[in-house]
Structure 1
């Protein structure tokens, strides 16, 4: 399977780095490296003169990475021997700014330690401005025109040529879709199995267009972005036909990352990465979100608790018949011993040889882990619940690969993801434009009266727009019910049967007791939920209402917490304005709120003003 990464900024580089590292660790676990390959990796890891990668290429590090993959995830991972990661970069950026020693590597600095992952496959694209630049730019070292090799389809004949045998890319990756179809293409023209998009929202459509011919209906597209409305734009302009559109995964992250140089980032703050699978008719009546069985869920929770408290590995793996990850299965005796050790470790709350202060810390950590394990925020979703059919095979492997990343990844139901995304939208709508306009850090907004007033106005408008969306949805739903009820009454006539009258009487008597159940039964199934459905909850009076986490006061409190947590950070929109990108993501943040307001007849003056001011500042700085 081939993973493609579109957008190699801060988040894109972090995800690509850990995805490649996870694949390499799985390969080393299946087949240990030869001495020559180990020496090559050691040389590549010493690119940094200050010490290189001290944690990425050792056998112990590989074992730790593999052992921390949840037991309910590992059976569904793609075969690492034919899995690769491809970076899509612009020709001009690649040729001019990236160190040629690390032309296929990503460097991540974390807590003073530099990690290096190499072996990426690189596909280069060029805009018109890049082609002009290549004609006039000269190589300073040799005083001759620089050589550009643009990886672009040479014509329809190249894309239509098929082969009987697989053609692996530079890292051994083979297209999973091509393998299923039995028709293989050149790696530059093969269908894209999984496309992870981490570009700026305003640049997504232009960056994706050259790759559209390679997006297969069985492909999976992962969107890890700040704003909202990107998927709606893609569905409207690129994938209007539901039968031929790919699978979609939406993701959001709270990891703190900033770009030091192209393909060189600093992982400044540990956060979380939450994702959800967009509902699809391909999932059938049950949908794609099935909870993990209780026994397997307890094993995963116990393993996570053991790793958090004592750093214990998951059960060792033994070889059995099969290929790829199917060659490994946990031995029953080792499982029992591991679960018993995990339980005793959590119960004892202590580690031999610790001081009093260490024991207190371990107790607090274990208590937190116990509370989390006893009452997890969300039930674990089962990767095996995704049907093993050709159209969902890449989705299955994508979900398992994301869950295997050491980035605190969690697969959550689509309703919970939508709530998280909207709350993050409110945070971005308050912090990003104000820091860009005031040229300040996030923390400078805290306790500033003018900033507080502006942020409160933004939160009030967002909550009002979402509430109007819910009301509009309920009104249309009631109109449809009334229309269907009128047709049924005309068919049945005015005489009504005794059974109908008895049922009506029973409903009237028990209406108060059954009110909540009745409202729930009127809601559509999870596989067909609209955005308005996802925002609703059932109130104490049994009537649908806006989720309490989306009220103005709740959103405002989220913004204040985010400001205090990221006080020393510069917002991404401030960075865009400072770097004179020529555009920002304002249309997908505050502009998205304004568009919803116009659609539902709600005035949004604060969001309208911030949107226009940011655009004005962008035009003024760029002179366009």
Structure 2
């Protein structure tokens, strides 16, 4: 579909775009937007002061390296918001305060490159957010928006560029429960291959596209009742048509900021953006989700790159079970009923083919969920990937035992990794494992360590002992358990 055209007489409060999330996607989008002719002012939102200090040392630049050519392109002129504590005597509803640091001209007197509009400054001294591009992980989207809720209103638009589905439901529940004051949502689905390679440096590894569309708020536009959906369109009143069967034009008409943000994103040649009707975009999201629900958790659990998912008989059986559950849920979603060719598009066979194609095209890559486990981040996106399938299955009365089990296996793995690194046995014995250095000495037959352990080690034993240390200092040897 064509992005909504600019209308005569419409006046924006500001052209400024805020980007929240300084990972690879956020930096890629920030760089792509800054490359455009007559680019809008762009404000990068940073949670930590040390991140801003690093940004200053690098010349306040976002750098993009093309993997094929090795060419690095640098863009500057970004304004910055730094999360800090509110000034004395000032309180915000979120408890967070965002200090605005403008980009300035290099010559004295160093005037701001993008002076604020008169209505951009809030009474707190912070800047109003008209258009927000949110690229943080899905599992922290609620926390991120709670920090900036006081800077958004019903005239704002938030574009979510994240893996997974279902986070908007959580955002509406915990951040914007009132539909009357709720911002408009856009959704962006990126297929570009990019990853971070240093501070404010992102590598563009593979060209892709960015699919964009407006989100249908079901509090304002609920799904029609079965008897209403079965009626011919000509028998519906204008109010019923606008409420239950809104067109994309009607959805965009309600939000000036959504129209502007969509036009801005589709102007970028690097992003290769295209606008889709909301139902078409939902189906693109579901297709990507079905592949991620297999690829991400399995590569994370087995700690392997994406290509290892292919050609393994045991894993192939697991993958078939997962896509079968996914297919049944997606083909039963009420919002998709009446879509032509639905059963084929979301058949188990086609979903398996899409997964195999993704695994092949990204064979040397490491999934984001695997990286979350390797770096022991506090949580993963699995609640918005496999968890979304489980929740929608529950709504429809379809049990998704495989996805449910896989989701909790991954959570258990994350918890076990944390316990292991704390060096504690995962049950209450009052004892802890001696570190790997001690085990290496024991395996090498170090006499000092063996003596301190108070046990003899057989030179013919092939299994190195696991030494358990009591809080009182007494140590005993046990055989290692091989899993």
**TM-score over 0.5 for the alignment?**
yes
Structure 1 residue 197: deviation in Å?
Answer: 0.5
1:265 corresponds to which residue? 202
Asked whether 1:214 is paired with 2:151, we answer yes
1:89 corresponds to which residue? 46
- Of residues 456, 464, 467, the one that matches 2:320 is 456
Asked whether 1:537 is paired with 2:333, we answer no
Structure 1 residue 85: deviation in Å?
Answer: 0.9
* 1:188–1:613 CA distance, 2 compared to 1 (3 A): farther
Asked whether 1:107 is paired with 2:63, we answer yes
In structure 2, stretches of 5+ residues that fail to align are: 1-14, 94-99, 104-111, 222-238, 423-483
Report Cα offsets for 1:417-447 as digits up to 9, x if no partner: 0110001001100100011011111011111
Structure 1 residue 461: deviation in Å?
Answer: 0.6
- Of residues 589, 598, 616, the one that matches 2:394 is 598
1:204 corresponds to which residue? 141
Q: For the residues of structure 2 that align with 1:88 and 1:184, how far apart are their CA atoms?
A: 16
* 1:212–1:560 CA distance, 2 compared to 1 (3 A): same
- Of residues 416, 422, 432, the one that matches 2:296 is 432
- Of residues 576, 585, 598, the one that matches 2:372 is 576
- Of residues 57, 72, 75, the one that matches 1:117 is 75
Q: CA RMSD in A?
A: 2.8
Report 1 or 2 for greater relative contact order, CA contacts < 8 Å, sequence distance ≥ 6.
1
* 1:452–1:93 CA distance, 2 compared to 1 (3 A): farther
Q: For the residues of structure 2 that align with 1:610 and 1:99, how far apart are their CA atoms?
A: 39
Structure 1 residue 449: deviation in Å?
Answer: 1.1
1:143 corresponds to which residue? none
Q: For the residues of structure 1 that align with 2:323 and 2:130, how far apart are their CA atoms?
A: 39
1:301 corresponds to which residue? none
Q: For the residues of structure 2 that align with 1:452 and 1:174, how far apart are their CA atoms?
A: 57
Greater CA drift, 562-571 or 278-287: 278-287
Asked whether 1:289 is paired with 2:226, we answer no
- Of residues 17, 25, 37, the one that matches 1:11 is 25
Asked whether 1:256 is paired with 2:193, we answer yes
Asked whether 1:275 is paired with 2:212, we answer yes
Report Cα offsets for 1:261-315 as digits up to 9, x if no partner: 232110000001001012366999495635xxxxxxxxxxxxxxxxxxxxxxxxx
In structure 1, stretches of 5+ residues that fail to align are: 27-79, 126-149, 160-166, 291-383, 470-531, 540-545
Give the TM-score of the pair, scaled to structure 1: 0.55
The answer on whether the counterparts of 2:80 and 2:102 sit within 8 Å (CA) in structure 1 is no
1:551 corresponds to which residue? 347
2:130 corresponds to which residue? 193
- Of residues 405, 417, 426, the one that matches 1:621 is 417
Q: For the residues of structure 2 that align with 1:175 and 1:535, how far apart are their CA atoms?
A: 47
* 1:168–1:201 CA distance, 2 compared to 1 (3 A): closer
The answer on whether the counterparts of 1:194 and 1:398 sit within 8 Å (CA) in structure 2 is yes
Q: For the residues of structure 2 that align with 1:599 and 1:155, how far apart are their CA atoms?
A: 48
* 1:168–1:124 CA distance, 2 compared to 1 (3 A): closer
The answer on whether the counterparts of 1:460 and 1:552 sit within 8 Å (CA) in structure 2 is yes
- What pairs up with 1:25-424 in 2 under 5 angstroms? 25-26=37-38, 80=39, 83-91=40-48, 94=51, 98=54, 100-102=56-58, 104-110=60-66, 111-125=69-83, 150=84, 152=86, 156=90, 169-170=102-103, 172-173=113-114, 179=119, 184-185=121-122, 188-279=125-216, 285=242, 287=246, 289-290=248-249, 386-387=252-253, 392-406=255-269, 407-424=271-288
The answer on whether the counterparts of 1:436 and 1:574 sit within 8 Å (CA) in structure 2 is yes
* 1:433–1:103 CA distance, 2 compared to 1 (3 A): farther
Report Cα offsets for 1:513-547 as digits up to 9, x if no partner: xxxxxxxxxxxxxxxxxxx23354247xxxxxx44
Structure 1 residue 548: deviation in Å?
Answer: 2.2
The answer on whether the counterparts of 1:271 and 1:408 sit within 8 Å (CA) in structure 2 is yes
The answer on whether the counterparts of 2:214 and 2:251 sit within 8 Å (CA) in structure 1 is no
Q: What secondary structure does 2:248 align onto?
A: coil
Q: What secondary structure does 1:87 align onto?
A: strand
* 1:157–1:459 CA distance, 2 compared to 1 (3 A): closer
